[in-house]
Amino acid sequence: STGIVATVGTLGILIPPSVTLIVFGIITEQSIGKLFLAGLVPGLMIAFFFICIIYVWCKMNPALGPKGERSTWKQRFASLPEVLWVVGVFLLVIGGLMYGFFTPTEAGSVGTFAVLLLSVIKRDIGFKGYIKSVIESLRTACMVLMLIAGSTVLGHFLARTKIPMIAADWIVTLPLSPDAIMIIISIIYLLGGSFIDDLAFMVLATPIFYPVIIKLGYDPLWFGMIIAITVMVGVVIPPVAINVFVVRAITKQPFSVIYNGVYPFLLSLVFCAFLLFLFPQIATFLPNMLMR
């Protein structure tokens, strides 16, 4: 179960409303709505593979997933309204972004207001809970704003020095195929994501490698999805393995136990990245179809 938590927690990097994709969109000046749509199919595909792994694992060893209480169809239908609230907020935010009713910043405000309104109506949390959630939100917002501010300064520096253009001109002249160069860039993101925070490394590396990708003729949306999956792998592999350290701090389980559960899911992430590399349409067909 610790391995499941450590790896499934990475899906937030790919599935909307992903902060990682928002930052990537700001750095590369790509449509946030298109990036969210591009992440839907790969994210659901990865989630499906995760479900298959858990199912096969529990079939091989039923003790890992003992059967719970069976619910009647009446009970299942009675629980649907609780899910509809969440689905409604999701559709409101993503739908508004897709059809241009509001910007990503406004979408965040609309989503926050909708969740706040629902919590008041349903009386889910008290005043102390609100204060705690505001503090946590401010911490996350301050971190993201600092990263964006840093990326803006870095972007101006790189633009003045023309480092990305020089790097792009040099890389494309290497005696390597575009696919080989893309694999090297992915490995750099993988190693970087395993050492420092995924957002921080994306802010550092994307302004340098993005012009290379454009010069090689790759789709920016597809590149964003490849990088997102690569970073997902990076946050659960040594030496830093942020997600694994968080799970260990909470559960007090040894690293060996956690990694025994992580490896099958890591393989599925690598497999999905391989599929996306071979078939870019997995990421691009939905945004191209819905947002021309």
The reported pLDDT for the residue numbered 222 is: 92
| Tens digits of residue pLDDT in 71-98 | 777 777 777 777 777 788 878 877 777 6
Check whether 231 has a pLDDT greater than 80: yes
Q: What is the pTM of this model?
A: 0.72
Higher pLDDT residue, 269 or 126? 269
- Residue 151's pLDDT band (boundaries 50, 70, 90)? low
Q: Evaluate if residue 240 carries a pLDDT over 70.
A: no
Residue 159 has pLDDT above 80, yes or no: no
Task: Provide the angle, in degrees to the nearest 10, between the axes of the packed helices 220-234 and 19-28.
Answer: 140
Question: Taking a C-beta distance cutoff of 8 angstroms, is the pair 282, 275 a contact?
Answer: yes
Q: In the chain, where are the structural domains located? A: 2-71+149-290
pLDDT (tens digit per residue) in 5-61: 778 778 888 887 777 888 888 888 888 878 888 888 898 899 899 888 888 888 887
**pLDDT tens column, 10-23:** 888 888 777 788 88
Please compute the mean of the pLDDT values over residues 229-238 and round it to a whole number: 81
CA 8/CA 266 separation, integer angstroms: 10
Instruction: For residue 240, give the amino acid letter.
Output: V
What pLDDT, on the 0 to 100 scale, is given for residue 155? 66
Residue 113 has pLDDT above 80, yes or no: yes
Give CA–CA dist 198/190, Å, rounded. 9
pLDDT tens digits for range 264-276: 888 888 898 899 9
Paired tokens of 222: 């597809």
Q: Among the listed ranges 154-158, 227-231, 261-265, which one has the minimum average pLDDT value?
A: 154-158
Best CA proximity match to 13, nearest among 21, 4, 5: 21
Token readout for 30 is: 């790509």
DSSP assignment of 54-110 equals HHHHHHH-GGGS-------HHHHHHHHHHHHHHHHHHHHHHHHHHTTSS-HHHHHHH
List the structure tokens of 15.
């599935």
Give the DSSP H or E segment for 126.
Answer: none
Cα 53 to Cα 62, 68, 235, 267: the distances in Å are: 13, 19, 20, 10
Task: Check if the beta carbon of residue 214 is closer than 8 Å to that of residue 220.
Answer: yes
